[in-house]
Copies of this chain bind each other. A is one copy, B any other.
Amino acid sequence: MNKLILLSVVVAVATGINVPPSTSVEQQPPCQTAAQWEGRASEWDHVQGRNNRFLISFDGVGLRKRVIEEKKSFMPGRRFYEYLMEYKTNTMYTINMNLQTCTVSQLKQPWQNHTIPSDATLEDEYEMGDPGSGLHVQEWSDRLPARRSESWIGIYTPKTENGGCWPVVEVFTDDTTDPPVSLTTRFFDITPGIKNMSVFVPPSFCPPSDDFEPPITNQYVEIHVENAENYGPIYTFYNYIKSWF
């Protein structure tokens, strides 16, 4: 699968197919979220009709993510998991927190920074919450005017002195996968940086990583898809894939 995508890229570059410019002329390029941060998220899965709560440590320097399911909603028999994702070795550790067991698998997606993609469209700026004293945010999407409708919307704070560009809400849909993906994620209690780097170390009961295929770390891999509006084939970018696993 990875090889197939790489091949498509080589073909696209070699044949000089016209790729849309990465930023629109009407707008400033979006600012970038800090490389390292921690926070919490509440994610509604619209396919399963369920809400999941996570603690997230995001290391854009070491290309690692750690996601822990929060034991908020009590359901008898429910298992809780911790996920460690190492993109340099293409490895995912899935840790059953109840049974203290651990399985190793290959990551299915390339690394992506958690930020506003550089070719995103600025849809709107507005105030969320209390009139006059709410949260000022920008709404971005992967829409390309008259060419591609949205499959991702990202609401981020604007750039501020403390770095800014923090994720607030993201909506993401991909109905080309099986099962389809349709998520609404709210981010909160964010802190810049990583408090303790040891959170990324797999526990001792995890087996060693297998010898997986080399990872894809290029976020600008192109995929050939048909436009929903029948404007013919267009390009979409892997860096819009915003599901966590």
Contacts and interface: CB of A to CB of B under 8 A. Distances in A.
Interface of A: 40, 42, 44, 46, 49-51, 53, 72-76, 123-124, 126-132, 134-135, 137, 139, 141, 143, 145-146, 149-151, 153, 155, 157, 160, 162, 164, 166, 168-169, 171, 173, 175, 182, 184, 186-192, 228-229
Contacts of A44: 150, 153, 171, 173, 184
A126 B40 contact: yes
A130 B155 contact: no
B135 A129 contact: yes
Given A129-B157, A129-B190, A130-B166, 6 more contacts: A44-B173, A46-B173, A46-B184, A73-B123, A127-B188, A129-B168
B135 A74 contact: no
B128 A188 contact: yes
Contacts of A75: 146, 149, 229
A186 B155 contact: yes
21 contacts: A42-B139, A44-B150, A46-B182, A49-B149, A49-B173, A49-B182, A51-B149, A51-B150, A51-B171, A72-B123, A73-B123, A75-B229, A128-B128, A128-B186, A130-B164, A131-B162, A131-B192, A134-B135, A155-B186, A171-B184, A182-B182
